[in-house]
Structure 1
Amino acid sequence: MSEPVTHAEAVETVRELIKDIETAMLTTISGDRLVSRPMQTQDIEFDGDLWFLTKKDTSKYTELLADPRVNVAYAGKSYVSISGTAEFVNDLERKKEMWNKMYEKILDVSYDDPNLVLIRIHTETAEYWESGSAAKMVTHLLKKAVGKNSDPRSEPGLNETVDLTQAPNQS
């Protein structure tokens, strides 16, 4: 059993794990099914919230209006699954700060287009598998597939879940 971590330690751990991963998979709820799509990770430091850009005339916008619960998955040297709640933010200065020419080509809009909106994910928990544990995870999944008992949490450091919510009186 690992020791509890502070909010700052949890945020720092997740920051380090996702900092070099350019693309995340954002999962939304659409009626009775889950929908995932790739999203560009913003070039800003993770502080406990995740930020993405989208257009209002997309299915993800409609899905998030109906149900703001999301999961954001990162895969690279480590694997991170973050759950949280999305909100839309119309902040022209923040859009400008995040903007680059690639978005203009991909989204076919400029940063000041009224159809462009920010998605802010208020993170709640992050589950991660650290570097070097991928082989152990594959072994666990293979054992599970053939019916053998295996628990990825039985390996020290293999898999952890951290709370990213911050108590109201913490700084």
Structure 2
Amino acid sequence: MANHTTSNQEAIEKVKELIKDIEVAMFTTISNGKAVSRPMQTQETEFDGDLWFMTMKDTSKYQEILENPSVNLAYSGKSYVSISGTAEFSEDLEKKKEYWNPVFGKLLETTYDDPNVVLIKVTPETAEYWESGTTLKTVKKFAKKLTTKESMGEDDELNDTVEFERHYGSDS
């Protein structure tokens, strides 16, 4: 299979297009060596390379991510998208307020400023997608460490390759 490289922005735009109308992902963590999945609503509506979710610290998924930050997100709609990445937590109060929905308040019986409420930021590393009527296409190294420029090896059997480079500001 032929491999070709696309830009970071092209990769982001492709995944954004594929998941834009899919609000819920199956969010998979690892617990005692086994994959555990549950539906979670994606909070970031304008996908910019990271995906955001909201949870509570007193949940099993919180503990599972603390123990192993490798996660997978599966989106199903007009297309099928599987995103593997690394999860980390954020307690950014402004971001929690931005993503908060009154439905969360009723379901979780709390408010966005509750210290038990936490955001999960998933940084994608790879994304595989299947579009209706086409064969598997893979976006490889989707933000892989976001600073490397590794190229695909000849043994990799992938259709598409995407390499991302994240630029950090001087304040980080």
- Give TM class, smaller chain: 0.7 to 0.9
40-49 vs 20-29, greater mean Cα deviation? 40-49
Query: How far did 1:97 drift?
Result: 0.5
**Distance of 1:13 and 1:106 partners within structure 2:** 33
User: Conserved in 1, the CA contact under 8 Å of 2:43 and 2:99?
Assistant: yes
Which residue in 1 is equivalent to 2:138?
A: 161
The runs of 5 or more residues in structure 1 that have no matched partner are: 134-157
Q: Specify the SS of the correspondent of 1:105.
A: helix
TM-score of the superposed pair, with normalisation by structure 1: 0.81
Kindly report which structure 2 residues correspond to 1:8-157, keeping only aligned pairs within 5 A, or say none. Answer: 8-133=9-134
TM-score of the superposed pair, with normalisation by structure 2: 0.81
Query: How far did 1:38 drift?
Result: 0.3
Query: How far did 1:3 drift?
Result: 2.4
Count residues in correspondence: 147
For 2:136, the aligned partner's letter is N
Rg larger for: 1
The runs of 5 or more residues in structure 2 that have no matched partner are: 149-164, 168-172
**Distance of 1:132 and 1:101 partners within structure 2:** 39
Give the CA RMSD over aligned residues. Answer: 1.5
For 1:22, the aligned partner's letter is E
Q: Specify the SS of the correspondent of 1:57.
A: coil
Which residue in 2 is equivalent to 1:7?
A: 8
Q: Specify the SS of the correspondent of 2:112.
A: coil
Q: Specify the SS of the correspondent of 1:95.
A: helix
User: Conserved in 1, the CA contact under 8 Å of 2:44 and 2:51?
Assistant: no
Q: Specify the SS of the correspondent of 1:123.
A: strand
Query: How far did 1:102 drift?
Result: 1.4
**Distance of 1:170 and 1:72 partners within structure 2:** 21
Q: Specify the SS of the correspondent of 2:22.
A: coil
What do residues 130-162 of structure 1 show as CA deviations (whole Å, max 9, x unaligned)? 1334xxxxxxxxxxxxxxxxxxxxxxxx21111
**Distance of 1:103 and 1:72 partners within structure 2:** 21
4+ aligned runs moved over 6 Å, structure 1: none
